[in-house]
Amino acid sequence: MRLAFYAPLKPPDHPVPSGDRRMAQLLIQAWEQAGHQVEIASRLASRRREGAQQKEVVVAAAAEYQRLLALYATRAPADRPAAWFTYHLYYKAPDWLGPDLARALAIPYLVAEASVAGKRAGGPHALGHDATAAALRGAARVFVINPADREGLEPLVAPSHRLVELPAFLDLAGFSRLAGSRAAARRTMAERHGLDAGKPWLLTVAMMRPGDKLASYRILGQALAALLDLPWQLLLVGDGPARSEVEAALAPLGADRLRYLGRLEEGAVAACHAAADLCLWPAVNEAYGMALLEAQAAGLPVVAGAVGGVPSIVADGITGLLTPPGDAGAFAAATRALIEAPARRAAMAAAARENVGRHHDIAAAAGILDRALVEACAEALAVAGAEGA
């Protein structure tokens, strides 16, 4: 089938990398692996920090709606979308296109990774909140990637079979090659960045931007400041507008312990995973953390904050250690425990690979998406038949 794909927060071909962009790309790949054709319907970005600014988006969306409707009208029926799929919508980035276009085309409207915050109802963000709630009420299927979102979705999505669990996933083909490349990757990294191969290497992969990311970096700095009695070096992959603030937060750790690697492409990040010993991320207000999933797929145990959907991808005590949100002391203690226990890290590394392979592979995700789409299309046909009888 042909699917219209829309990501109101950030299109999948956006130039700035992020976990959100990565998940959008993986969803397209999963749909294609299931045998469907995917086209990016629109790149209209609906995210606005202030609720009042959504009125500007509504105007732009009305014009975009007319453009798409006219475009689809020029096509033969077989070349029009058989379903509309929207990825990641919430009160700051509602979907002003999909619900109306799906109704106009008489096709199922599907959603993945939606969240609803009841406290936004009736406030300054009411316009975006109400639009998101209305979209969810009319969705044929809502795929739940972050289990923490389910509680807010259940009152809006009925009957319950319209809510479909879709665990965060990866294309694991490239990760399987990392298992045997550790020694070579470690030698290369040591030579390139002046690292001590005899010390544990800690790895953090995250954008450097204000807000929750910066808060996470500050907790990381506080935690590692309590571990200066141990030998370790920290590799930092990422960049962004808060780079100077991140550097200030980590400066007390000492320049000899820190290596800022900047923004890297996927292959270079994979090399870092292969070379490192432990992945660290406090995960302030993180949805679930694609970087944490990728680290485990590469065989890195994780220390992370037990926030949102993070516990759904990190098995506490098995593939890593989870700590109370925002607790720098607990984060330091967990990190210390794994730095001092290389055998335990090795066992967690093997468990991490196994867990991701069993529960987070793209092939399983493709099957879930395909079954839900087929069911939603059959339901739509049944409704159309009953109305035409």
279-305 pLDDT, tens digit each:
999 999 998 889 999 999 999 999 999
Instruction: Indicate if the alpha-carbon torsion angle 15, 18, 21, 26 is positive or negative.
Output: positive
Quote the pLDDT of residue 278: 98
Q: Are 216 and 281 in contact (CB under 8 A)?
A: yes
Angstrom distance (rounded) from CA 223 to CA 305: 12
Residue 146 has pLDDT above 90, yes or no: yes
Residue 49 has pLDDT above 90, yes or no: no
Angstrom distance (rounded) from CA 165 to CA 161: 10
Among candidate residues 135, 55, 59, 141, the one with its CA nearest the CA of residue 101: 135
Q: Are 219 and 284 in contact (CB under 8 A)?
A: yes
Q: Give, in words, the CATH class of 175-359.
A: alpha beta
DSSP state of 22: H
User: What is the mean pLDDT of the segment spanning 218-241?
Assistant: 98
Residue 156 has pLDDT above 60, yes or no: yes
pLDDT digits 0-9 by tens, 304-354: 999 999 999 999 999 999 999 999 999 999 999 999 999 999 999 999 999
Domain at 2-169+361-388: CATH code = 3.40.50.2000
- How high does pLDDT run on average in the chain? 94
Residue 84: alpha-carbon gap to chain centroid:
20
Angstrom distance (rounded) from CA 12 to CA 147: 23
User: Which pLDDT band holds residue 122 (cuts at 50, 70, 90)?
Assistant: confident
Residue 388 has pLDDT above 70, yes or no: no
Among candidate residues 64, 82, 116, 118, the one with its CA nearest the CA of residue 5: 82
Residue 215 has pLDDT above 80, yes or no: yes
Quote the pLDDT of residue 389: 54
The reply to whether 2-169+361-388 and 175-359 are identical in fold is: yes
Angstrom distance (rounded) from CA 169 to CA 356: 8
% residues pLDDT > 90 (the chain): 84
Angstrom distance (rounded) from CA 342 to CA 171: 28
DSSP state of 242: T
Quote the pLDDT of residue 237: 97
Residue 67 neighbours by CB distance under 10 Å: 12
Domain boundaries, the chain: 2-169+361-388, 175-359
DSSP state of 96: S
User: What is the mean pLDDT of the segment spanning 159-166?
Assistant: 94
User: Which pLDDT band holds residue 119 (cuts at 50, 70, 90)?
Assistant: confident
Q: Judging by DSSP bridges, how do beta strands 278-281 and 83-89 pair with one another?
A: unpaired
Residue 179 has pLDDT above 70, yes or no: no
User: What is the mean pLDDT of the segment spanning 138-148?
Assistant: 96
What kind and span of H or E run contains 281? Answer: strand 278-281
User: Which pLDDT band holds residue 52 (cuts at 50, 70, 90)?
Assistant: confident
**Could you write out the three-class secondary structure of 143-189?**
EECCHHHHHHHCCCCCCHHHEEECCCCECCCCHHHHCCCHHHHHHHH
- List, in sequence order, the alpha helices (H) in 226-339: 243-250, 266-275, 290-297, 310-313, 328-339
pLDDT digits 0-9 by tens, 11-26: 999 988 888 999 999 9
Angstrom distance (rounded) from CA 303 to CA 278: 8
Angstrom distance (rounded) from CA 269 to CA 266: 5
User: Which pLDDT band holds residue 8 (cuts at 50, 70, 90)?
Assistant: very high
Question: Which value, to the nearest 10 degrees, does the dihedral of the CA atoms of residues 268, 27, 132, 121 take?
Answer: -40
Among candidate residues 153, 120, 133, the one with its CA nearest the CA of residue 51: 120
Among candidate residues 389, 377, 369, 382, the one with its CA nearest the CA of residue 105: 377
pLDDT digits 0-9 by tens, 82-105: 999 999 999 999 999 999 999 999
Residue 117 has pLDDT above 80, yes or no: yes
pLDDT digits 0-9 by tens, 346-373: 999 999 999 999 999 999 999 999 999 9
312-332 as b/e: b if 16+ CB within 10 A: bbbbeeebbbbbebbbbebbb
